[in-house]
Every structure is written in C-alpha cells, then in structure tokens.
Amino acid sequence: MVGFYFPDGNDEFEYDVRGLMTSFFPGCEPVKLAGRPDAELALDFERILRIPAFPEITDKGERKNETKRAFYRELSEMTGGKQLPWGTLTGIRPTKLITQYLEAGHPEFDTAESKGFRSLMKEKYLISDEKLDLAVRIAREEQKILSGIGPDGFSLYCGIPFCPSRCLYCSFTSYPILKFADRVDGYIGAMTGEMDAVSGIFAGKRPDTVYIGGGTPTAITADQLDRVISAVEERFDLSGIREFTVEAGRPDSITKEKLDVLKKHRVDRISVNPQTMNDETLVRIGRLHTVGDIVRAFHLVRDAGFENINMDLILGLPGEGPAEVENTMRQIETLRPDSLTIHALAVKRASRLKMEAVGTVIPGPGQIDSEAMMRIASEGAESMGLVPYYLYRQKNMAGNLENVGYAKPGKAGLYNILIMEEKQSIAALGAGTVSKAVHPDGRIERADDVKDLKEYVDRIDEMIERKKELWH
C-alpha cells in the first residue's frame, strides 16, 4: 500500500498527486492519510509520501506545476530513478499545449524561440524528448486536417450499446446482444426521439462528421442498422459531410448484408478492431472469434468497396509482451489497413479486468515492457506508410503511455481529432454517451445520457431536456 499526506493540510492538488502516484505505482490505490502516521500504522504502508507545499507561489497554475515536479522527483527517487515518458503531464490531451502555442502564432518549432519553448516544456513538465517530438508532430498534423473545420459546424455521434460478448477490459456501456436482442427496437425508437430533438436544436446546420459507435453497431441486424442510419439521413442534411464512420468493431458481427446497408448509405470509414492477432489472447479477453475471423472480416469489408478501414490494437493485454505485439504487427502488415489506432491498455474501474483480476497480468513496471511494445507497434505502423495524427491519454494506462492514431495521408479519422481538440460541438445520442457543447465564447459544457438501457428508454424525455438545456 502507498500512503500520502499533506503536512500543512493543504490538499488543493490531491487529484493531480493521485494521478502521478498511480503512474509510478500502476494498479495501486493511494491512501490519503490525515498526517504522518505513527510507527505502528506506518508498517502497513510500503511507502509514505509527504506532499510539499509552495504557499509563496501566488499563481495557482505555477503552484500546481511546482508541486507536481517536486512530488515527481520524490517518486522517481523512491522508485530507483524511474522516469515517466510524459513527465508530470497527467491530462488526457498533451497536444493541446502545443496547439495553443501554434495558434498563438508560432507556426514553426525550429526557430530560436521555439527551442525556448521546447526547453520550457521539458523544464516545466519533465516530458521526454521522444514524447515531445511526437506531440509536436501530431499537433501539426491535426492542424492540417482540421483546416476548414469551424466552430459553427457540429458532429453527430450515435451509440449502439450492444456487443456479441463483453470484453475483459471493457468499461463502456455494452450489453450482450443475444440476451438483449428484444430491447433493440425500443432502443432505436428512443434514440430516434433524441434525434428529432437534436435536429431541431441544430436546424439549418450541417454536420461535418457522423460517427456510429458503441458497443458494436454491427451487432444489431442489417434491418435495424438500416433504420438507424435512415433516421439520421432523414433528420440531418448530410450534403456537407466530411466523414461518416461506422464501427464494425467486432469481426464476429460483420456480414455482407450489413456491409451492403453501410455502402448504400455512403458510410465511408469503417473500423474493424482486432485488438490483437493472437488467438490465445482473444480467448483470454473474452472475444468469441479467432484471428482467422478477423482476416476474413477485413477482406469482406475491403471487397465490399470500403477504402478507409481502421483497425484498433491494444498493447498490454493480459499475457502479451513484445513477441506477441511483433506477431500482431506482422499480420496487420499483410492486411494493410488505412489507419491503425494503437492503444495502451487502460485498466478501468468498471471493467471485469479490474473487478475480477481473473488471473491476469495488470501491467506494471517490470511485469511487461510497455515501452518496447509501443516502439514495435509505432515502428510497424510507420513502416506501413501510416503517420501519427491524433493522441490522447487515459488514467491507469500501461507504462503510462498513450493512445495514438496513425493513418495514410487523407485517411485520418476527423471525428477522433474533433472530440479530442474540442473545436466544435458534438451531439451524442444513446445510452452512456456524453454530448459536448463548445460555445462561441470558448466555454465547454457537457450533458450525459444515462448508461442503463432501460433507464435510457424510460427517461428519454429527460435526456432530450438535458440536450435542450445544453444548447440553449
């Protein structure tokens, strides 16, 4: 157990402190102590950290950075010199700092001034050169891709919370389709009601992107999928749309009939997500399909005429190390997807992985070499001609790393960037989704839909009200 306390009782940065502690000690739940514990209690803890305070620093942001740096150094010493690749940056969007710098009129990073900025970033956040380079590269790429996208537009997200089975690491809203098949029609009916309201709120505006995600949208029948997309088309003017994604996600849910529906509706980006190309791991994480199924599904999608196929991978899955990642990348290379999203496993509270810890390896220092896996995956992606274009981080990620999207030129997922960079409003419909209003004055507000399927359908009027309040 790891404990911490604030000697002067000033705990204003507790959240940040906790974030750093779990990055240095993955899987631990830091315990906040009222003060320095007596010797007996102290025996219960492997480590006890005293959080320094800097009352003389009046600027809150600076005070926070100083606290985090001091604390980081202490943790690093305690762990034998361990460094975190992203230093003290615990937020989910490290590229945002770079983007702000670019938008402030510093278009290039190779000027003397930008060198100053680089040193500043390193001194302020203790970020490694490698990650700083990655963040700069991605921030530039994002800027290119986002050109022409303004705050006046919006994007639409529809969540279909059904899947063939529940994956071990899943923390999303997801119901096994076999058990809940009789609820799908009612769900679509409720979501269509939400669509009616949202199309009224955004009357006169055209969405830039539409994303049907989940869950696994292709877990429902071809007819139901047809109804969802037709409902979108009937209510929104899609003439200016730049991207229409459907997450086919699980290969065991993809059929020719469903692909025909997607093609008919001019869906132009599809995600087929293997997560790994190792059969043993697929069994371990609760998937009901094999690597052979992934390959067949991929070819089915390609043969149906889709020219923008994304694949998602997760590094740090139970039982996997660099050798398994190498195998995955070798097989992915033969498929040549148009984009690849590489995630570092994040152990979420609501996942079975966290709750059951079913004889699995929760990634941590010395248990798996997360950085080596990330290197193999990123080099593999670049060797396929894919370039990094978006990045985000989550809590409790394997090796304290990051999720990175790679894509062929012109095949980047625009919606992915929009949701990260918060450049425009996103109207999200369906159980467990979160809508985001980006107001003209820069304020960002959110409204969520309840996660429970029955509650969502029963309380759909309330979900609609939440959206009306958000945008009015």
Stretch that binds ligand SF4, among 26-34, 81-89, 210-218, 373-381 (CB under 6 A): 210-218
> Which residue number, 94 or 214, has a Cβ lying nearer to ligand SF4?
214
Q: Contact between 318 and ligand SF4 (CB under 6 A)?
A: no
Nearer to ligand SF4, 174 or 310 (CB): 174
Among positions 67, 174, 310, 425, the unique one binding ligand SF4 when judged by CB under 6 A = 174
Q: CA 208 to CA 241: how far, in whole Å?
A: 5
Residue of 17, 97, 170, 294 interacting with ligand SF4 (CB under 6 A) = 170
Q: Minimal CB distance to ligand SF4: which residue?
A: 170
CA dihedral 397, 318, 363, 376 (to 10 degrees): -70
Out of 138, 167, 188, 376, which residue is the one contacting ligand SF4 (CB under 6 A)?
Answer: 167
Considering the complex, what minimum distance in angstroms separates the CB of residue 124 from ligand SF4? 35
Question: Which of residues 205 and 348 has its CB atom nearest to ligand SF4 in the complex?
Answer: 348
Give the count of beta carbons closer than 10 Å to the beta carbon of residue 96: 17
Contact pick of 163, 300, 314, 450 for ligand SF4 (by CB under 6 A): 163
Region from 121-129, 162-170, 201-209, 325-333 binding ligand SF4, contact rule CB under 6 A: 162-170
| Under rule CB under 6 A, residue 378 binds ligand SF4 | no
Q: Which stretch binds ligand SF4 (CB under 6 A): 159-167, 229-237, 416-424, 439-447?
A: 159-167
**Closest among 249, 252, 296, 247 to 275, alpha carbons compared:** 249
Q: What string of DSSP letters covers 176-213?
A: EHHHHGGGHHHHHHHHHHHHHHHHHHTTT--EEEEEEE
214 touching ligand SF4, by CB under 6 A? yes
**Three-class DSSP category at 449:** coil
Q: How far is CA 273 from CA 30, 385, 443, in A?
A: 34, 19, 34
Within 272-301, which residues bind ligand SF4 (CB under 6 A)?
A: none
Among 216, 276, 416, 433, binds ligand SF4 (CB under 6 A): 216
CB neighbour list of residue 23: distance below 8 Å, 6 or more residues apart: 84, 90, 400
Q: Does 96 bind ligand SF4 (CB under 6 A)?
A: no
Packed helices 460-471 and 184-201: angle between N→C axes, nearest 10 degrees: 20
User: Judged by CB, which is closer to ligand SF4: 2, or 248?
Assistant: 248
Please pick, from the candidates 26, 85, 87, 249, the single residue that binds ligand SF4 as defined by CB under 6 A: 249
Q: Name the region of 422 (left: φ>0; alpha: ψ -120 to 50; beta: rest).
A: left
Q: What CA–CA distance (Å, rounded) separates 286 from 166? A: 7
Least distance between ligand SF4 and beta carbon 170 (Å): 3
Q: Min. distance of Cβ 428 from ligand SF4 in angstroms?
A: 15
- Hey, how many other C-beta atoms are within 10 angstroms of the C-beta on 383? 10
Q: Which is nearer to ligand SF4, 249 or 322 (CB)?
A: 249
Residue 312 CB, shortest distance to ligand SF4, in Å, is: 9
Which pairing describes strands 154-160 and 425-429: parallel, antiparallel, or unpaired?
parallel
Cβ 249 to ligand SF4 shortest distance, Å: 5
Q: Which of residues 41-80 bind ligand SF4 (CB under 6 A)?
A: none
174/276 with CB nearer ligand SF4 = 174
Q: How far, in Å, CA of 145 to CA of 414, rounded?
A: 7
Query: What distance lies between CA 266 and its chain's CA centroid?
Result: 26
Q: Which of 72, 86, 172, 392 binds ligand SF4 (CB under 6 A)?
A: 172
Nearest in space to 429 (alpha carbons), one of 191, 261, 232: 191
**Count residues contacting ligand SF4 (CB under 6 A)?**
11
Tokens of 86: 């992203």
Alpha helices in 336-459 (DSSP H): 352-356, 370-383, 414-421, 453-458
Structure-token pair, residue 46: 């492997």
Q: Which is nearer to ligand SF4, 99 or 341 (CB)?
A: 341
Residue whose CB is less far from ligand SF4, 250 or 466: 250
Reading the block at residue 387, the tokens are 């370039």
Give all strands (DSSP E) within 289-355, no chain letters: 309-315, 339-344
Among 3, 26, 30, 215, binds ligand SF4 (CB under 6 A): 215
Contact with ligand SF4 (CB under 6 A): which of 63, 250, 289, 466? Answer: 250
**Quick one: 312 or 324, whose CB is closer to ligand SF4?**
312
Enter the tokens of residue 242: 């730049």
Q: Which residues bind ligand SF4 (CB under 6 A)?
A: 163, 166-167, 170, 172, 174, 214-216, 249-250
